[in-house]
Amino acid sequence: MNQISIDISRYMEVKEEKGASRRKDALKYFFDAVDKESEEIGWKYFDKKTQKYKKLKPINRVAYSIKMNMVFKDVEELRTFYSECRAYQLKHGSFSRRFYGGFHKQNWG
């Protein structure tokens, strides 16, 4: 009997997104960290129209990408800001508080 061997390794390779850039990857770290934190904490906001508390939705990635691209000129500035957010999280317990707190250099010592 003839045995047929099939090479399935090419189907199991992880393909990278076309056009993925270093800047896009750097922004993804921010958005994943903010979404993870809001999911863990279970943040809610008060909707004035319905007069009820609602669960906070995931961050609007397109809007914040545009905003961050205007503020930060290169990937190194994004990495510096990310390290500031992580340091703030270790010291004060919230990554997103520093992230939403402003896109400018702060001395919170």
Please return the burial class of 95, using the count of CB atoms within 10 Å of its CB with bins 0-12, 13-18 and 19+: buried
Give pLDDT, residue 12: 55
pLDDT, mean of residues 49-72? 85
Contact between 85 and 98 (Cβ < 8 Å): yes
Domain positions in the chain? 19-101
- In angstroms, the CA 81 to CA 104 distance is 9
Contact between 37 and 94 (Cβ < 8 Å): yes
20 C-beta neighbours (distance < 10 Å), count: 10
pLDDT tens digits along 74-87: 888 888 888 888 99
Which band of pLDDT confidence, cut at 50, 70 and 90, is reported for residue 22? confident
Burial 39-68 (b: 16+ CB within 10 A, else e): eeeeeeeeeeeeeeeeeeeebeeeebbeeb
